[in-house]
Structures are given as structure tokens and as C-alpha cells.
Amino acid sequence: MKRFALLTLEYPPFLGGIASYYQNWFGLLKPEEFIVIVPDTLVAAKNETNVVRLPFFAKYFWPHWLVLIWRTARVCRQEKIKYLWVPHILPLGEVAFFLKIFFGYQYIVAFHGTDAFLIQQSAWKKFLSRIICRLAYEVVATSQHTAEMVSTFTRQKITVLTPCLSLALPPALKQPKQNIIVSVARLVPEKGIDLGLVAAAHLYHEFKNFKYIVVGAGREKEKLLKLVDKLGLQPVVEFVESKSVAEAHAYYEVAKVMLVPSVREAFGIVALEAAWYGVPVVASSVGGLVEAVKENKSGFLVHPAATKVMAQKLRQVLEMPEPDYLKLVVSAQAWAKEFSCERSKITEVIF
């Protein structure tokens, strides 16, 4: 009998931190223990199992999510669900709240960072979130940083369940890598790719022997391309889009250093993924990145506005003697292994 349902707007093959988070954690569970309920507009994965697709939102009346209460209840009744897990507290937490009021379903509400940040900006959203958390079976945050934000609008106990990694370790490094810097991110303001480009410009003035590859897509792309032209970085900067997680991870295998210049970050799973592949990380000392990056072990933390220091750290890694670089590679992988997925962690939260 299936025990619980994940009700989410994001799930693979959708690319993103939330989708990866649930793919990794729920991949540890038995098929009979859960189902995933996603919008029918989400692209389907090949050979997917345990996924139910529903029309999430009504077109012609408000609130648009109201119909999802009864659609989800019908699925839960058919699948004998006892608990719901809901990220995206507004509006999916509202759906879970009314499912408990009307039908008695228990729910776990999870915060992934940006949602908690946006809630803090609105008294009305704080009020709604406080009520939803009050009736929740459990409140989960994906980092200590996110938990601190959530604690500003609820007094409920908050369980921290950080992202985990379920990747196979790459083959050992057999030859020196080329001087390739990689950033993997959505091209949105909070990811700070513009700051990464400024740091690359500082580096380019003194050190020409590198390539900076930005893997991602988003609304800021045209603006960032214009900044590349303005800074004269055309010879060394390349933007690429990946169609799958595997394509994005392929860039870790060629990168010598990963740059994560975010101005706001709930956790920064890409910093851990890079470390898993033995790629040292230069990252902003903001939000959950302070938890994801171990200073001098998996990489280096720099204030996002200190782009000259960021450039210095990048050059330090690029010019590092091979024995020192290999030592950093080994320590980065050792750090990432501490975030390996363990079934006991997710079952303790759910069951």
C-alpha cells in the first residue's frame, strides 16, 4: 500500500534543484511507498513510474488552485494515501491544508529557500504560511539557512533535510585538466552570473589562458551576452544550454574549477555535485552555500561583491601545482561523500 504522495510543481525530467532534490531522496524509497502528483503540463520522463498527472489549475475562476483539492483527494483515495509531502507552500500548501480540514490527510510542508525568502517579504504570505505550518504533521527545510528564514513566521519544530547525492563516482583523474571554469545555473539575477563575468574580466586582464563556460538558460541571457561584449570576454566565455541532468554533469568532468557566484542561494546543490566529481568550487559566502562548501577542503568562499578576490581564487586553483590540485580534488570528493543519500534519513522524516 502506498503510504504518501509528493504533490509538486517540479519533478524530473524538469531541470532544477527542487526536482533533483526529490529525485535523489525519493529514489531511495520502495515503489509501493509513494506516488508523485505533478501538473499534466510537465514533460513526462521515459519509463517513469509512480507518477500521476493532473490539471493543477483552473482557467476561469479564482483561486486557480481550488480545483486541485478535490482532484488530489480523488487520487489519494484511490491510492490509499495517508500523508502528503508538499513543497511550494503557496499554493500547494494551501491545497494540503484544506485536504486535512475536509478529508483528514496529514501533510509535510517543505521549504527550499526562495519560497521562504518571498514569504518574508509579505505580511499576508507570512500569515497564510504560519497557519499552514501550524497544522502540518512536520515542517522541513533543505538547509539551516532556510530553516532560520522559516522560523521567522512559524514556531513549529523545523527538520533540516539537506539535499543528498546519489551519483556514481567519476573515474579517477588520469591527466591534468585544461583551464576551464564552469558555472551551472539558471540565468536569473539571484544566481549572480553577471558577477561571475566581472570576476572573469578581472582574471582576463592578467591571465588569458582559461575558458569560462556558463551552462544554463533563463530570462537574463540576452543581458548577460551584452555584458560579455562590454567586458571584451568574447574569446573566453561561452554560454550553453543542457537538455538533461546528464548533459549538465558532463561539464563537471572537463572543468578544473566550478564558479558559483550567487547573491542568494538556499543551498547550492551544484557546489556539492561539482565536489562529488572532484572539481574545486569558488562560491559566494551567502545562504546555504556556506553549508555546501567546506573552506579549503572543497573550495573557497568569497563575498559575492568581491569580484577581484573571486578572480584571485579562480587563478589560485587554475595555477595550482598538480600535486596540490590533486590533493584538493580528493578532499572535495571526501566532503561530498558526507552528503550521500541514506534511506534512513528520508524514512525518519516520512514514517
225/167: higher pLDDT: 225
Among 3.40.50.2000, 1.20.1250.20, 1.10.10.10, 3.40.50.300, what is the CATH number of 180-337? 3.40.50.2000
Rama region for 255: left / alpha / beta (φ>0; ψ in -120 to 50; rest): beta
Grid look-up 554560454 returns 239
Mean pLDDT of 255-279: 94
Sheet holding 180-184, edge to edge: 237-240, 211-215, 180-184, 257-260, 281-284, 299-302
pLDDT value for 174: 60
Question: For position 9, what pLDDT does the model report?
Answer: 95
Average pLDDT taken over every residue of the chain: 92
H or E segment and range at residue 119? helix 114-120
Per-residue pLDDT tens for 145-185? 999 999 999 999 999 999 998 877 666 666 678 999 999 99
What is the C-alpha separation between 281 and 262, in angstroms, rounded?
13
- Give dist(CA 259, CA 312) in Å, integer: 12
Read off the pLDDT of residues 78-98 as tens digits, 9 standing for 90 and up: 999 989 999 999 999 999 999
Q: What is the pLDDT of residues 179-193, one digit of tens each?
A: 999 999 999 999 999
How would you classify residue 232: left for phi > 0, otherwise alpha for psi between -120 and 50, otherwise beta?
Answer: left
- Domain assignments of the chain as residue spans, ordered by start: 4-161, 180-337
Does the pLDDT of residue 269 top 70, yes or no?
Answer: yes
State mean pLDDT over 318-332.
94
Q: Assess whether pLDDT exceeds 90 at residue 44.
A: no
pLDDT at 2: 57
Contact 225, 246 (CB under 8 A): no
Task: Looking at the structure, give the CATH architecture of the domain made up of residues 4-161.
Answer: 3-Layer(aba) Sandwich (3.40)
Q: Is the pLDDT of residue 195 over 80?
A: yes
pLDDT confidence of residue 170: 67
Q: Do domains 4-161 and 180-337 have the same CATH topology?
A: yes
